[in-house]
Structure 1
Amino acid sequence: MTTTAPPGLDLEGLRAHLDTALPAPPAGPLTARLFEGGRSNLTYLVEDGTDRWVLRRPPLGHVLATAHDMGREHRVLGALAGTAVPVPRPVLLVEDPAVIGAPFYLMEYVPGTAHRDAEALAALGEPRVHALGVRLVETLTALHGLDPDALGLAGFGRPEGFLERQLRRWGKQLDASRSRELPGADELHRRLAATLPPSPAPALLHGDYRLDNVLVDAEDRIAAVLDWEMSTVGDPLTDLGLLVMYTELARRFDGLLPGAALAPGFPAPAELVRRYADASGRDVSGLGWYTAFASFKLAVVLEGIHYRYTRGGTVGTGFDRVGELVPLFVGFGHESLEG
C-alpha cells in the first residue's frame, strides 16, 4: 500500500522495487514529499513509518546532455563516505527508468538545516555565523586536498584541458536552452575563452559549492555536503570562484538569491578567499576569471531551468522568477573579468 505520490515519483513502482532490492523490505506503506528549494534534480523524502531515505532523480521535461547523471552522483557519494568531507551514505542506484519513470538513486536521510534565509541564520548570533562560514571554507579545502585516485575515482574527470572543455560544454548547453535573446551572454563566453588561465594541480570538485548545499547540525557542524550532480576532477579554483560569486551576489540582489550569506557575521568574500589560500597554498590572484566563469555557468543552468519552466517541465514553486536572474549573472560575469 502506498499513498498519493508527488509529481515525478511513481511510489507503486518504487515500493515494488525496494521490496526486492533492499536487504529488508520497507516496514510499512511508503509516503513521499518533494523537497522545496531545488531548481535542478528533483529530491524527495521517502518514508515507510520506520526508516527515512532521500531519493534523487532528474528533472521533468527538457534535460541537457551530460547533465543529471544519477550514476555519477551515486559514485562520488560512495567514494567520499568516511572521508573528512561528510556526505549521505548511498543506498541504491537504479538506472532503469521503468521503475519510477526515470533513473534514480536512494541515499540515507541526514538530519540538518540547509541555510537559505539570512534572518534564520542570524538568529544563531554573529560568532556562530562566522564560525559556520569558516567551516564552509575548511570543508572545501578538505575536499580539494583529497586524492581522487586513492578514492577510487580514477577517470572520474579529465583534468587536461579542463577549463577549455568546460567553456565549450557550457556554450553548447546555452545553445540547447535558447528560447529568447540573452544580451551579453555570447560575448561573455568569448571573453572567457580569450583569457583562459593556466590551471593548478587538479582536485575533486563539487561543482556547485555554497552554504545552502550543505546540511548543518544542531552544533553548527557541517553534517553533509549535498547536490553532487556537477562533481568532477578538474581545476579547484572553479569551486572557490563559485562560492565567492554566490556570496557577493546574495549581497547585491537581496531576495533574488539564497540570502543566508547576508546574516551578520558571515565572512565577506575577501575573507573566504584568504582563508582558502592560506589553508590550501594555492595562488588565487587570478580568481576574477573563475568568478566570471561561475557567473556564466550559473546563467546557463538557470536559463535551462527557465526553458523547462516555460514548457511546464518543472515541479514545485519559485520557478517563475528564475528567468530574471540570468541577465544578472551575465552582467556580473563581465564585471568580474574587468576586475
Structure 2
Amino acid sequence: MSLTERLEAYLSRVWSTPVTVSDLSRIPGGASRETYRFSAVADGQTHPLILRRDPPGSLIETDRNLEYLAFASFHACLPVPKRPFFIMERVEGGAAASPFTVVPYGEHARTIGEQFFRILGTIAAADPTTLPLAKAAERPAPEDCWRIALDHWTKVIEDDQQHPQPIVWAAIRALRRRPPPPAQAVRVVHGDYRTGNFLHDGAGKILAILDWEMVHLGDPLEDLGWAMDPLWGHFEADKVGGMLPRDEALALWREVSGLEVDETALAWWSLFNAVKGQAIWTSAAKEYRDGGFKDPVLAISGWYTARRHDQILAEMLLRLEGLS
C-alpha cells in the first residue's frame, strides 16, 4: 500500500468519512524526521496538512510521542501547528531563515526578535505538571539537569565520532569541572529553539514554532543559551539571532518567563550548547558516511557547522580560562 493510500485509510477512519489525499510531496531538509506536505479532501473541504514520520536513519534519536505532546501542550498559547494525530495543519505563506543568510529578517528584525524571545519566555513560564507533556517526559531534579544533559550528548559523541576532537573533549572536561548551579525551575525545554526553526510571514509576524523533536524537561537556560549561540547569529556579532542586542533579548525573556538570568549559569549552558551542537554535527557526519541518510544537509552539517562550532568552543574556552 502506498503512502497516499495509507494516509487516506487512516484519515477516513479517524474522521469517520471518506478522505482523498492529493499533492503528496517530501519537503527537503530535516535530518531527524521525514516531512511531507499534502492535501486531504473530506466532505467537500480541503485540509492542507503536514506529515511527520521517522526516516530509515536519523540524525538524532528522539521520541515522536514527546514531540506530539509538546504541540498538544502549547497549541493554545503559542503559534504551533494544530495536529490531528501526528499529521499537522500546514501553515501557509511562511518562510524559515537559513543560518547562512545575512540579514534574513530585514527591517522586521527587531519586531521578530521581540516575538521570538517572548515566545521563548512563554515556554519557560509554563508549569510542566499541568501540560500533556507531563504524561511522558521525565522530570529531573533541579540539581541533575546539567548532568543528564551533558551525559546524554557526551555519549552521542563517544558513539559517533570518527576522528579525534580535542576541542570538544576539552570543553566537556571544563563543563564537568565547573558545574552550574541547580536549575531555578524545571521547565519545558524546546531543545532546538533558534532562528531557522520558526516560520514568519515576511512582514514581521512569527507564524509557527517548528522542530520540537528534542523537547524535554530541564533547565530553561538551556534553550536560552542555544537561541543565543553565535552559530545562529547570521554574521551579526552585536545581535543575538541577528535580531536584538543581547541585553534586550534577556530582558524580554526575564519579563515573560518570570525567571532570572544567572550569568554564570548561562555561560555554562552556552558552552554546553556548543558541545551539543558538535554532537549533532558528529552524528550527521557519521550518518552520511555510513549511508543511512543521504540528505546533503547532513554532509554540510558534518563539515561547515562542525568547523564553526569548533571555533565557537575554542573562543569560549579561552574566555573561561581567562586567556582572551
The alpha-carbon deviation at position 334 of structure 1 amounts to: 4.0
What is aligned with 1:267? Answer: 244
What is aligned with 1:233? Answer: 217
* 1:31 equivalent in alignment to 2:10: no
Gaps (5+ residues) in structure 1? 3-9, 93-104, 254-258
Which secondary structure state, in structure 2, belongs to the residue aligned with residue 91 of structure 1? coil
State which of 81, 84, 93 in structure 2 corresponds to 1:91. 84
Name whichever structure is richer in helix by fraction.
2
* 1:194 equivalent in alignment to 2:186: no
CA contact (8 A) 1:291 1:333 kept: no
Which secondary structure state, in structure 2, belongs to the residue aligned with residue 158 of structure 1? coil
The total of aligned residue pairs comes to 304
Report the AA paired with residue 289 of structure 2. Answer: T
Instruction: Rate the CA distance shift 1:260–1:113 in 2: closer, same or farther, 3 A.
Output: farther
Deviates more, 1:163-172 or 1:216-225: 216-225
Identity %: 26
What is aligned with 1:40? Answer: 32
Which secondary structure state, in structure 2, belongs to the residue aligned with residue 301 of structure 1? helix
1:268-287 equivalences under 5 Å are 268-279=245-256, 280-286=258-264, 287=266
* 1:313 equivalent in alignment to 2:275: no
The alpha-carbon deviation at position 270 of structure 1 amounts to: 4.1
Instruction: Tell me the distance in 2 between the aligned counterparts of 1:222 and 1:147.
Output: 23
Report the AA paired with residue 135 of structure 1. Answer: Q
State which of 207, 221, 238 in structure 1 corresponds to 2:205. 221
With normalisation by structure 2, the TM-score equals 0.83
Instruction: Rate the CA distance shift 1:12–1:313 in 2: closer, same or farther, 3 A.
Output: farther
Instruction: Tell me the distance in 1 between the aligned counterparts of 2:75 and 2:96.
Output: 20
State which of 71, 80, 103 in structure 2 corresponds to 1:77. 71
Instruction: Tell me the distance in 1 between the aligned counterparts of 2:168 and 2:73.
Output: 36
1:202-213 equivalences under 5 Å are 202-213=186-197
CA contact (8 A) 1:215 1:224 kept: yes
Instruction: Tell me the distance in 1 between the aligned counterparts of 2:114 and 2:79.
Output: 16
Report the AA paired with residue 54 of structure 2. Answer: P
CA contact (8 A) 2:40 2:49 kept: no
* 1:107 equivalent in alignment to 2:88: yes
Instruction: Rate the CA distance shift 1:121–1:249 in 2: closer, same or farther, 3 A.
Output: closer
Report the AA paired with residue 288 of structure 2. Answer: Y
With normalisation by structure 1, the TM-score equals 0.80
Query: Deviation string for 1:210-244 (max 9, x for gaps)?
Result: 12111223652222211111111110000000011
The alpha-carbon deviation at position 252 of structure 1 amounts to: 7.3
CA contact (8 A) 2:221 2:269 kept: yes
Over aligned residue pairs, what C-alpha RMSD do you find?
2.7
Instruction: Tell me the distance in 2 between the aligned counterparts of 1:260 and 1:115.
Output: 14
Instruction: Tell me the distance in 2 between the aligned counterparts of 1:248 and 1:107.
Output: 26
Instruction: Tell me the distance in 2 between the aligned counterparts of 1:297 and 1:197.
Output: 16
Instruction: Rate the CA distance shift 1:225–1:43 in 2: closer, same or farther, 3 A.
Output: same
Instruction: Rate the CA distance shift 1:330–1:158 in 2: closer, same or farther, 3 A.
Output: farther
What is aligned with 1:140? Answer: 120
CA contact (8 A) 1:115 1:260 kept: no
Which secondary structure state, in structure 2, belongs to the residue aligned with residue 55 of structure 1? strand
What is aligned with 2:50? Answer: 54
Instruction: Tell me the distance in 2 between the aligned counterparts of 1:313 and 1:205.
Output: 28
Query: Deviation string for 1:76-115 (max 9, x for gaps)?
Result: 11121212x22111211xxxxxxxxxxxx21111222223
Instruction: Tell me the distance in 2 between the aligned counterparts of 1:311 and 1:120.
Output: 34
Gaps (5+ residues) in structure 2? none
Report the AA paired with residue 284 of structure 2. Answer: I
Query: Deviation string for 1:284-326 (max 9, x for gaps)?
Result: 3122211111111111112112211112222544333222222
CA contact (8 A) 1:273 1:284 kept: no
